[in-house]
Amino acid sequence: MRLTTKGRYAVTAMLDLAIHAQSGPVSLNDISGRQGISLSYLEQLFAKLRRGGLVASVRGPGGGYRLSRDSSEINVAEVVDAVNESMDATRCHRRGDCQDGEECLTHHLWLELSDQIHAFLHGITLAQLIQRKEIRSTADRQDSIARNRIDAVLSTDDVTG
Amino acid sequence: MRLTTKGRYAVTAMLDLAIHAQSGPVSLNDISGRQGISLSYLEQLFAKLRRGGLVASVRGPGGGYRLSRDSSEINVAEVVDAVNESMDATRCHRRGDCQDGEECLTHHLWLELSDQIHAFLHGITLAQLIQRKEIRSTADRQDSIARNRIDAVLSTDDVTG
DNA sequence: GTATATCCGACTATTTCAGTCAACTTTAGA
DNA sequence: TCTAAAGTTGACTGAAATAGTCGGATATAC
């Protein structure tokens, strides 16, 4: 079982997508800027999210990604799953053949832990998350920082180099 | 966050220790035979469990390890912790400085997940586990296999090589 | 003093993570 | 039609962790 940056980034990016859904497709560049995730890495993650049927892409200028379902129909467990981070705590992938074809001493324990985690993540949808006030305020902060960055670029003479 | 063989082995070994506690110190060789864990690897794990204050060692022939507390006073979370497998799901180790010193969009989500997992593992003691019938029957099976193995060795002419 | 045990440090093959880089295709708009 | 913005794909990489192995040292019951 593991939950690393990969799975966390995937959920963060999907949440960003859900939050900014009303203004058309969202480019990975925008997500990268707001969430501080490298563009190249986002490309990898979204390839998996697309294969997993969670997002749809729009190519060309003005393009980006959209959720392929309503945010109320996508739960966190699916997102983590799509990027191949298994929340399964057993060694045998629930088969019960962990030790010489039989259950190991702790098989049931890890099975129960897996069920706990899955129930928790499966019960939370993107729609529910974007209702939360701490997430709304974090998103607002990120949006204003992004706007400031754009303003700064526009108002500055381009004297790079 | 990760739960791998290391943490699972640690809990399995501690459970084996708890089950066979009444017959004096348990050698790593016995645990290795019953649980199918390499002796050298067990040595590594028990070094950490000892440093973590969970077991005490008895050196010399007839020696081995004992639980340093009653099995009802040791919970699964402690064991996993002792071998350095963090069940913390946040990136920032709960500090809330995940993105440029501020909370990332998903900070609270992972905080809640961490709390769920910790509550679950903290609530289960070794004493509770060894009461469970599926664990008792697995342990019985392992014991009888171990006895058969000893019998086989004793009754066979040593014609190795 | 020898066999049985823990102790300890160094070593290693493999895998994954987290990310970079380069090249390619699609497409909106000037 | 040209160009720039976007997604698409595959190869690559440094660092870290996993899951061990190996050799030897130390302690101790008999």
Q: List, for residues B120-141, the tens digit of each pLDDT value.
A: 999 999 999 999 999 999 999 9
Closest listed residue to residue A135, CA positions, set B67, B110, B160, B94: B110
Dihedral angle, C-alpha B153, B158, B160, B161, nearest 10 °:
170
- Yes or no: say if A87 and A1 are a contact pair by the CB < 8 Å rule: yes
Residues 6+ apart with CB under 8 A from B113: A3, A117, A120, A121, B89
| Rounded percentage of chain A residues whose pLDDT exceeds 70 | 94
Q: List C-alpha distances in Å: A59 to A51, A124, B53, B150.
A: 16, 30, 58, 68
Instruction: Using a 7 Å cut-off to protein CB atoms, list the covered nucleotides of chain D.
Output: 4-11, 17-23, 26-30
Q: What is the mean pLDDT of residues A131-142?
A: 98
pLDDT higher than 80, residue B25: yes
SS (H, E, C) chain B: CECCHHHHHHHHHHHHHHHCHHHCCECHHHHHHHHCCCHHHHHHHHHHHHHCCCEEEECCCCCEEEECCCHHHCEHHHHHHHCCCCCCCCCCCCCCCCECCECCCCHHHHHHHHHHHHHHHHCCEHHHHHHCHHHHHHHHHHHHHHHHHHHHHHHCCCCCC
Which position has the token pair 């909370």? B103
Q: Is the pLDDT assigned to residue A81 strictly greater than 70? A: yes
d(CA A55, CA A50): 5
For residues B151 and B133, give the distance between their C-alpha atoms in angstroms, rounded to a whole number: 27
Contact assessment for residue A19 and residue A67, using Cβ atoms and an 8 Å cutoff: no
- The Cα–Cα gap between A88 and A2 comes to 8
The DSSP call for residue A94 is T
* pLDDT at residue A151, as a whole number: 78
pLDDT band at B150 (very low <50, low <70, confident <90, very high): confident
* Cβ pair B105:A15 closer than 8 A: yes
- Of the candidates B109, B85, B115, the one whose C-alpha atom is nearest the C-alpha of residue B96 is B109
> What is the overall mean pLDDT for chain B?
94
Q: What is the pLDDT of residue B154?
A: 66
The band of A160, judged by pLDDT with boundaries at 50, 70 and 90, is very low
Q: Are B77 and B122 in contact (CB under 8 A)?
A: yes
- pLDDT, tens digit, 9 for 90 and up, residues A44-67: 999 999 999 999 999 999 999 999
Residues of chain B found within 8 Å of residue A8, distances taken between Cβ atoms: 91, 104, 106, 110
Helix (H) or strand (E) holding A149: helix A133-155
Residue A84's pLDDT band (boundaries 50, 70, 90)?
Answer: confident
Q: Is the pLDDT of residue B104 over 80?
A: yes
Look at residue A158 in the predicted model and tell me its pLDDT. Answer: 45
- Distance, CA of A19 to CA of A6 (rounded, Å): 20
The answer, yes or no, to whether residue B20 has pLDDT greater than 50, is yes
Residue B76 CA to nucleotide D18 C1', Å? Answer: 21
Confidence class for position A155, pLDDT limits 50, 70, 90: low
Please state which of the ranges A84-93, B62-71, B112-121 shows the lowest mean pLDDT: A84-93
Cα(B66)–Cα(B43) distance, rounded to whole angstroms?
14
Q: What is the mean pLDDT of residues A3-14?
A: 97
How many angstroms separate the first and last alpha carbons of chain B?
47
B159 has pLDDT over 50: no
Instruction: Compute the nearest-CA separation of A157 from chain B (Å).
Output: 27
Q: Which residues of B touch A105 (CB under 8 A)?
A: 12, 15-16, 35, 135, 138-139, 142
